[in-house]
Chain A
Amino acid sequence: MNRSGSDIAKKIRTLHMLLGGLLCLSIVLAPRSSLAGPYSLSAHGDSLAGVRRDVDGLASPGPYVTGNCAHCHEQHASMGGSEPQPVNSGPSPFALFAPGFVTAVKEKPYQQADLFCFYCHASPGSYQSGLLENFDYSHVFGGYAGGPTSIFEAFNQPLGGVNASYHNLYDIWSYAQKFPGFGASSPPCDACHNVHRARRNKAYPQDPAYTAISRPTEHESLWGDVDGERMTNYSGAYQAPLHFGSRTTYEPGGTSESVADGSKVPDYNTFCLDCHKEKIYSTSLRRDVVAIEWKLSGGDQLGTGDKHGANAYTVGIQMKKPYDELVMPPGGYLLSCLDCHEAHGSPSAFLVRRSVNGEILGGTLAQARDGKSWAYLCGRCHQDDYHVGGSTDINQVNRWRTVHHGGGSGANVDVPYQVQGQQGMSCGECHELSPGPQPIGCGYCHNHGSYCNGTNPGTLPNGKVIPAPIDGFRRTF
Chain B
Amino acid sequence: MKFEKRCRNSFRWWVACFSGLVCLSASFVAVTAQAAVTGRCSGCHTMHYSQDGRVLTEWGQSGPYEALLTIDCLGCHMGTNVGGTTPFVFSSEAPNYGATGTTSDTNTLAGGNFYWVAQPGGDTRGHNVAGLMAGDGALSMPPGFSGDRAAADGSIPGGGSWPSGQQVTCAGTYGCHGSHAQSSLASAVRGGHHNGLDGAITAPDALPAGGFRMLVGIAGYEDADWEYRPTTSTHNQYKGVAGGTDNSTISSLCARCHGQFHSASSAGSPWLRHPVDYDMGDTAATSDYRSYGGAGVNAYRLDAPVASVDVGNVLTNVTFAGDTVVACVSCHRAHGSPNHKMMRWDYAGTIGTGCAACHTSKD
Contact = CB atoms under 8 A, between A and B. Distances in A.
Contact of B270 (A28, A82, A185): A185
Contact of B138 (A47, A70, A81, A91): A81
A31 B272 contact: no
Contacts of B263: 91
Q: How large is the interface on A (under 10, 10 to 19, 20 to 34, 35 or more residues)?
A: 35 or more
B355 interface: yes
A472 B10 CA distance: 119
Contact of A47 (B103, B269, B301, B351): B351
Interface stretch (A32-40, A334-342, A409-417): A32-40
Contacts of B345: 31-32
A37 B352 CA distance: 10
A76 interface: yes
Contacts of A36: 363
Contacts of B321: none
A25 B362 CA distance: 22
B294 A28 contact: yes
Contacts of B293: 28
A39 B347 CA distance: 15
Given A76-B261, A220-B361, A35 B352 contact: yes
Contact of A91 (B272, B303, B351): B272
B124 interface: yes
A198 B106 CA distance: 38
Interface string B29-55: 000000000000000000000000000
B77 interface: no
A94 B270 contact: yes
B102 interface: yes
Interface in B300-355: 301-303, 331, 340, 345, 347-355
B24 interface: no
B61 to A, nearest CB: 35
Contacts of B152: none
Contacts of B232: 25, 28-29
Contacts of A81: 138-139, 141, 143-144
A433 B138 CA distance: 80
Interface in A56-87: 62-70, 75-78, 80-82
B100 interface: yes
Contacts of B194: none
A47 B350 CA distance: 9
Interface in B217-234: 232
B102 A65 contact: no
Given A76-B261, A81-B143, A31 B361 contact: no
Contacts of A34: 350-353
Interface in B129-168: 138-139, 141, 143-144
Given A37-B362, A80-B139, A65 B272 contact: no
A94 B293 CA distance: 24
Nearest to B352: A35
Interface string A76-117: 111011100000001111110000000000000000000000
B274 interface: yes
A75 B144 CA distance: 12
A25 B300 CA distance: 11
B98 interface: yes
A227 to B, nearest CB: 23
B343 to A, nearest CB: 10
B12 interface: no
B16 interface: no
Given A32-B345, A80-B138, A45 B99 contact: no
Given A29-B302, A94-B270, A95-B273, A38 B362 contact: yes
Given A28-B232, A28-B293, A63 B273 contact: no
Contact of A68 (B271, B297, B347): B347
B271 A95 contact: yes
Nearest to A40: B351
B144 A78 contact: yes
A80 B273 contact: no
Contact of A33 (B143, B350, B355): B350
Contacts of A92: 272
A65 B138 contact: no
B362 A68 contact: no
A50 interface: yes
A63 B138 CA distance: 15
Nearest to B123: A80
A25 B103 CA distance: 11
Given A28-B299, A31-B100, A80-B124, A39 B352 contact: yes
A69 B355 contact: yes
Nearest to B274: A75
B94 interface: no
B356 interface: yes
A28 B352 contact: no
B362 A93 contact: no
A67 B348 contact: no
B361 A93 contact: no
A329 interface: no
Lowest 7 CB-CB distances: which A-B pairs, in order? A31-B99, A81-B143, A91-B272, A37-B363, A75-B274, A35-B352, A39-B362
Interface of B: 98-100, 102-103, 124, 138-139, 141, 143-144, 232, 258, 260-261, 263, 269-274, 293-294, 297, 299, 301-303, 331, 340, 345, 347-357, 361-363
15 contacts: A28-B294, A29-B302, A31-B100, A32-B99, A32-B345, A35-B351, A36-B363, A37-B362, A37-B363, A39-B351, A65-B349, A76-B261, A80-B124, A93-B271, A185-B270
